[in-house]
């Protein structure tokens, strides 16, 4: 593809995203799926154009308003063209050459567009006159929440969230250890280095297509951010346990939990979406996982929960959240979010957490995880849960780290908080709660019920 054709493709994808039809990753995947003739290098370049415009949308819109003074509106086209100059460093002449009106390239620049592109030449994305939210490319309404979360470290953390994320892989220990996976990748020309925190993780040296690799087809690894790997490791799901992945989705953490259990015991993957669980089934088969039962729940109050009360050793809750910790991979999410979304999510998280808690056996653990960096979805939720559920006590994250990964936790004592700037991962929060031991008669009764369930 010519550079102009790549830009035209990026504009088309951005238009789909801005129309609110689909998230960025879905829109890009759908575009490429319908055009299988587009090669891997072209796909990478198109995606780079798309994400440059999404990550810096607030700053780009500020520059368009400042220089065009209403003659150019902020649209998919103008944002993409401005990002070429501001973010990617294109010269105005190159932008003009790419937009020559050919059948596969963008229409020629208008007079106002030409003046805007020339005016952006030599500029940087940031400008001293920008409001703080614009300079950090975050929505105005979220800035106070982010300031409470990061304080003086706001600019550093947001800069990391606005940077591209590395590609992390989790070695599937059901089939091979990390070193063996690394050698298998190298044999196919793919270089990867051990992740600094996760003992089962690898980080690609450079981005490459993975789905065609024999190592992928044989289930030797799964794509999973290092922070997500750590959350699953700290759950401490062991062989022979009864475990629930309460919000399993497409099964990323289910796979990690199953590997920790060495395919022994019972792992129930729950979700309200049958479609997501069906997607998980394909991944489970490729990974060689055989101890997972998939269960579609009507809601977090499904009758199945009452029937299995206090019968699981571990209940893992990867709760729906605003996703601020994933902005490196999903920058469009910050522009789709609204204040009411956060309020609704906070209420739903508490309902999910308290309902899932009913499944936990005495001395069992409830693991609450979000890919959020906001206190409202993290520490405040954990504190509200402890205040409402006296049967549970906090199990310190530092202790969970010492017992599973070993050594001192680099990301908190009571709770775990991983951030892109500090740890090089997506943003992740984790709290572990342990149900207090009941009296001996109750424990004996629960143990008998679990023994019965294990035999089913």
**Which positions are catalytic?**
371
Query: Does residue 369 contact residue 318 with C-beta atoms inside 8 Å?
Result: yes
Tally of CB atoms within 10 A around 327:
27
Query: Tokens 């208008």 — which residue?
Result: 110
The residues, any chain, with a CB within 8 Å of residue 105's CB and separated by 6 or more, are: 2, 4, 5, 7, 8, 98, 99
Q: How far apart are CA 204 and CA 38, in angstroms?
A: 23
| Coil, helix or strand at residue 269 | strand
Strand partners, 52: none
Tokens of 25: 């990753």
Question: Which helix (H) or strand (E) is 290 found in, with range?
Answer: none
Q: Please give the C-alpha separations between residue 25 and each of 112, 206, 313, in angstroms, as whole numbers.
A: 31, 19, 35
Identify the H or E element spanning 288.
none
CA–CA gap between residue 231 and residue 252 (Å, rounded): 11
Locus of tokens 């990002």: 83
- Separation between Cα atoms, residue 275 and residue 296, nearest integer Å: 10
* CA dihedral of residues 60, 65, 69, 73 (deg, nearest 10): 70
Q: Are 10 and 87 in contact (CB under 8 A)?
A: no
Identify which of 231, 157, 149, 207 has the alpha carbon closest to the alpha carbon of residue 420.
157
């Amino acid at each position: 593809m010519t550079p102009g054709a790549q830009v035209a493709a990026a504009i088309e994808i951005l238009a789909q995203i801005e129309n609110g039809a689909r998230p960025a990753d879905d829109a890009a995947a759908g575009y490429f799926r319908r055009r299988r003739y587009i090669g891997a290098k072209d796909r990478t370049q198109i995606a780079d154009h798309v994400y440059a415009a999404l990550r810096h949308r607030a700053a780009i819109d500020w520059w368009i308003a400042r220089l065009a003074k209403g003659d150019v509106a902020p649209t998919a086209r103008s944002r993409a063209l401005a990002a070429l100059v501001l973010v990617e460093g294109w010269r105005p002449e190159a932008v003009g050459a790419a937009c020559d009106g050919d059948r596969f390239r963008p229409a020629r620049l208008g007079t106002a567009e030409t003046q805007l592109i020339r005016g952006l030449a030599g500029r940087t994305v940031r400008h001293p006159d920008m409001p703080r939210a614009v300079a950090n490319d975050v929505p105005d309404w979220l800035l106070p929440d982010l300031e409470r979360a990061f304080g003086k470290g706001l600019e550093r953390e947001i800069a990391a969230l606005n940077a591209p994320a590395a590609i992390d892989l989790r070695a599937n220990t059901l089939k091979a250890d990390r070193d063996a996976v690394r050698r298998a990748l190298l044999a196919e020309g793919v270089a990867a280095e051990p992740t600094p925190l996760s003992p089962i993780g690898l980080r690609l040296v450079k981005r490459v297509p993975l789905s065609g690799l024999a190592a992928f087809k044989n289930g030797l690894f799964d794509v999973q951010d290092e922070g997500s790997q750590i959350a699953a490791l700290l759950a401490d799901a062991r062989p022979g346990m009864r475990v629930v992945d309460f919000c399993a989705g497409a099964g990323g953490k289910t796979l990690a939990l199953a590997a920790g259990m060495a395919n022994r015991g019972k792992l129930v993957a729950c979700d309200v979406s049958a479609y997501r669980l069906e997607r998980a089934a394909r991944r489970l088969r490729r990974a060689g996982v055989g101890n997972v039962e998939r269960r579609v729940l009507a809601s977090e109050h499904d009758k199945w929960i009452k029937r299995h009360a206090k019968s699981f050793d571990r209940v893992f809750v990867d709760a729906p959240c605003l996703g601020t910790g994933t902005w490196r991979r999903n920058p469009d999410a910050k522009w789709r979010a609204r204040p009411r979304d956060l309020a609704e999510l906070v209420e739903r998280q508490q309902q999910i957490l308290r309902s899932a808690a009913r499944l936990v056996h005495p001395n069992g653990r409830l693991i609450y995880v979000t890919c959020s960096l906001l206190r409202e979805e993290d520490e405040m939720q954990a504190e509200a849960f402890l205040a409402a559920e006296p049967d549970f006590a906090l199990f310190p994250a530092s202790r969970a780290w010492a017992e599973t990964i070993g050594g001192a936790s680099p990301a908190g004592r009571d709770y775990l908080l991983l951030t892109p700037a500090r740890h090089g991962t997506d943003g992740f929060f984790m709290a572990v709660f342990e149900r207090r031991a009941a009296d001996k008669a109750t424990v004996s009764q629960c143990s008998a019920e679990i023994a019965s369930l294990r035999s089913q």
